[in-house]
Amino acid sequence: MLNKGKEAMHSLYNSLSKSNDPKLDNIKEVLLRSYSKSNDDKEDPALMRRVARLVYKN
């Protein structure tokens, strides 16, 4: 079962992928990399904080 952070990254990526806005390409790339690094079994607060900072920074 996916943890909440991984579910959130998956949902956000799916929402952003519907847009062809090139400004979102960096965020989508980071979400993909972070999703693959995330562990299904446990939350990773440090990873989620880094992803959140990147999203809100852009």
pLDDT score recorded for residue 40: 66
CB proximity list for 39: less than 8 A, separation 6 or greater: 3
Q: Which amino acid is at 36?
A: S
Beta-carbon-side half-sphere exposure of residue 15 (alpha carbons within 13 Å): 7
Q: What is the pLDDT of residues 1-44, one digit of tens each?
A: 468 888 888 999 999 999 999 989 999 999 999 888 887 667 77
- DSSP helix/strand/coil, 18: coil
The model's pTM is: 0.77
Dihedral sign, Cα of residue 45, residue 43, residue 9, residue 36: positive
CB proximity list for 43: less than 8 A, separation 6 or greater: 3, 4, 5
